Chains A and B, each alone.
Chain A
Amino acid sequence: MSDTADPRLLRAPPKKGIRLSWTDERLRGIVWQLLVVGLVGGIIWWLVSNTAHNLEVRRIATGWGFLNREAGLPIGESLIDYNPTNTYSRALLVGVLNTLKVAVVGIILATILGTLIGIARLSKNWLLSRLAATYIEVIRDLPLLLQLLFWYVILQGLPAPRQSLNPMTGVFLSNRGLKLPWVQWQDAHSFALLGLVAGIVATFLYARSARAKRMTDGQPRKVWPVGLGLILGLPLLIWAALGAPWQGDIPALRGFNFQGGLTVTPEYFALLLGLVTYTAGFIAEIVRAGIQSVPQGQWEAAEALGLQRGRIMRQIVLPQALRVIIPPMTSQYLNLTKNSSLAVAIGYQDIVSISNTTLNQTGQAIEGIAIIMAVYLCISLSISLFMNWYNARIALVER
């Protein structure tokens, strides 16, 4: 409270001491809280003391010392260098990266597929709309785990490498997974990738400044030529400047298996397929509801102003629809990430699978489960924070 105010006007409410009577609301509140906190604390203390006793009786080691021991567990696919002689912490890191690999790719693909199906659901073509509706209904009414097992069985039922399906040159589909042609990765490619990222950032900044300038003088400025130059031209220029290396890496059958090329393992492929098709069913409904939430009058008013259809969609309808779409979309992204833990059922080595093996090998159940929970809580929290920030940015600014 400010010191300058007239003290006579700022009279504090009469101070009431807490009466020791059950009719006093504050006293009741304090008693209730003490009771509940005491009860919960008591239960937790009881569980912890039981656990400590059990651990002692069963001679189970505790603590995080095992993280620096040799893991000795083989991991099929890894984004970083790994071999079984590495430590448990390295193995767990591989697991986290594998989880992120499937979650990030899954979120992107599910968003694209879901949006397409959501738009198809709204199509004026009856057949297309019904087909999308059927897809949504069927996919949402089947357990994800069942779908994953189903896809995995189908992928395992594919022919052996020698008789693999070969839809186009360099692409092979067999029970060893999907083989794709790739380039032999060199430094130039990494720099070109950096250039791409820099180009996207620069385009974004340019678009912002163009809009700011337009606000002052009213002149529209074309963003796309500059954007195209930055996003496509910059990486190409870097790549060409570094000698334009282009060495194809095309998979070829040698003996009983393939050599070279990019491999998508059946486990990863089945998991990704299951997660993307499942989550897309939910995203489609969200997108449909979001677009339908924009009143028809908005379209009509924008048409009356003489705006083109694409422009109406981009500048009138989408910004309003996104406000409805973003919050449920966030929870779908979270769901997809958490559902990626089902990988353990089909043998994709994500963090759950590796933690599970770790806890079986070391017998340290509490630490193993704590790692799983901590990783997912971190991922969930980061996605929530990012989406909340994005949501706040696009939220309706009211007076």
Chain B
Amino acid sequence: MSDTAAEATVPRPAQESAIGPRRPPLLAVGPVAWARANLFSSWLSTAVTLALIYLIVRWAMGFVDWAFVNAIWSVPVVNGQAQTQACRALNGAGACWAVVTEKHRFMLFGTYPYEEHWRPALCVLLFIGLYIVSAMRRFWRKELAYIWIGTLTLIGVLMWGGVFGLSYVPQERWGGLVITLILATFGIALAFPLSILVALGRRSRLPAIKALCVLYVELIRGVPLISLLFMASVMFPLFLPEGINIDKLLRAQVAIILFAAAYLAEVVRGGLQALPRGQYEAADALGLSYWQKTGFIILPQALRLVIPPLVNTFIGMFKDTSLVLIIGIFDLLTAGKTAIIEPAWQGFGIEIYVTIGLIYFIFCFAMSRYSQGLEAELNRHRVR
């Protein structure tokens, strides 16, 4: 094959070119040429390509068999007991998606009252809408802060209820995907202002404030999130005066905020450092006070610089909220893990985890694509 291909790319004798421009040889353009350059450029490359194609095809066929061909999508339920004999009979040859069909409400909304499920569902949509609005550059104005405050308040009202004819639902009954979104979004929303203060403090000329901020950031970044969550679950009750009891979810939320703030502060500090000194000096020369300088000159530019890493930190936080499983808070992952404790569904963990993974993946992938696109867009003026 390589011989004939080599001949085809050799230019023909010159007399033919007098007739007019000729199309390039078929093998030098188009998909064949592309494959030759990118898949079969050398014997090693060819071997790698063939081996990979073989492995991918084999794996894909096995996966399709497992996930679709042999899969069971629903099982009969007798007296509230799911009959999973058919699934067990597959013996791993096919997926038992029935567990997802049966438990999807539980995974998404936890133990929230069944007839009120529209409320957390609406909250999930509100969260997604909030993310989309925040992602659009046309909304990058002060008003965005009000949109956030408004939406988060609305979500709180919807979840708790007790007003406008909504029945009251205590926090212990919240669960599922909406908890994941609450922990991540409220975590970022409240950690962000704190992180700006800490980042400013870390660059402050006042030694005591600087030392405090450095201590806070390094201490938090030096320990795993789990230790903070344990602290929230077993130590916070000791910190508070007798008689005051804070809900477990709120305690975990506080831990996540403190944790996120330390990481966000480092990102914001990067933006502050990236700003040329001239900006600070020019603001000083205009006679602006420290807070005027920071609010009008420094922060608007510095924050714009760090939007892509901020999104990446948010992705990290979104994934890290799953750690609340360890202290027993009912987020998406905990709900999934709980769903397979029931004897009828024991042993179908893979199906549940694949589904949960898909949900996490959709959120994180959308955010990471957005962050990459944004980075390219913000850097466009630098690329020549």
Contact = CB atoms under 8 A, between A and B. Distances in A.
Contacts of B212: 36-37, 40
Nearest to A149: B353
B341 to A, nearest CB: 13
Interface in A242-286: none
A146 B224 contact: no
A29 B206 contact: yes
A367 to B, nearest CB: 11
Interface string A317-332: 0000000000000000
Contacts of A50: 238-241
Contacts of A37: 208-209, 212
Given A37-B212, A51-B239, A145-B323, A352 B357 contact: no
Interface in A311-365: 338-339, 341-342, 344-345, 352, 356, 359, 365
In the complex, which of the residues A29, A146, A341 has the most CB atoms of chain B within 10 Å of its own CB atom?
A: A146
In the complex, which of the residues B52, B234, B242 has the most CB atoms of chain A within 10 Å of its own CB atom?
A: B234
A128 interface: yes
Interface size class of B (residues with CB under 8 A): 35 or more
A298 interface: no
A141 B235 contact: no
Overall SS of chain B's interface = helix
B238 A142 contact: no
A144 B337 CA distance: 15
A41 to B, nearest CB: 10
Contacts of B347: 157
A226 interface: no
Contact of A126 (B38, B223, B230): B38
Interface string B42-55: 00010011001100
A345 B350 contact: no
Nearest to B34: A126
Given A32-B206, A372-B223, A149 B230 contact: no
B238 A372 contact: no
A144 B224 contact: no
Interface stretch (A53-61, A188-196, A387-395): A53-61
Contact of A344 (B41, B326, B357): B326
In the complex, which of the residues B238, B326, B337, B356 has the most CB atoms of chain A within 10 Å of its own CB atom?
A: B238
A380 B223 CA distance: 8
A142 B333 CA distance: 11
Contacts of B122: none
A302 B230 CA distance: 55
A362 B227 CA distance: 18
Overall SS of chain A's interface = helix
A14 interface: no
Interface string B355-375: 011001100110010000000
Contacts of A124: 38, 41, 45
Given A125-B39, A128-B52, A154 B223 contact: no
Contacts of A339: 224
A4 to B, nearest CB: 32
A206 B224 CA distance: 41
Given A149-B349, A365-B234, A376 B48 contact: no
Contacts of B41: 124-125
Contacts of A67: none
A372 B368 contact: no
Contacts of B364: 140-142
Contact of A47 (B38, B224, B239): B239
Contacts of B242: 53-54, 57
Given A33-B209, A144-B319, A341 B227 contact: yes
A376 B223 contact: yes
A29 B210 CA distance: 12
Contact of B350 (A47, A154, A372): A154
Contact of B223 (A137, A138, A145, A338): A338
Nearest to B233: A365
Contact of A146 (B49, B227, B353, B365): B353
A341 B206 CA distance: 36
A127 interface: yes
A149 B337 contact: yes
B319 A143 contact: yes
Contacts of A344: 226, 326
B277 interface: no
Contacts of A144: 319
Contact of B226 (A33, A341, A380): A341
Given A29-B205, A369-B235, 11 more contacts: A54-B237, A55-B238, A124-B38, A127-B39, A128-B52, A141-B365, A142-B319, A153-B350, A345-B326, A352-B230, A381-B222
19 contacts: A32-B206, A54-B238, A54-B239, A57-B242, A124-B38, A125-B45, A143-B319, A143-B360, A149-B349, A149-B353, A150-B354, A157-B350, A338-B225, A359-B234, A365-B234, A365-B238, A369-B230, A377-B222, A380-B222
Interface of B: 38-39, 41, 45, 48-49, 52-53, 56, 92, 205-209, 212, 219, 221-227, 230-231, 234-235, 237-242, 315, 319-320, 322-323, 325-326, 333, 337, 347, 349-350, 353-354, 356-357, 360-361, 364-365, 368
The 8 A-B residue pairs with the shortest CB-CB distance, nearest first, are A141-B364, A153-B349, A126-B38, A143-B319, A338-B224, A341-B224, A33-B208, A143-B322
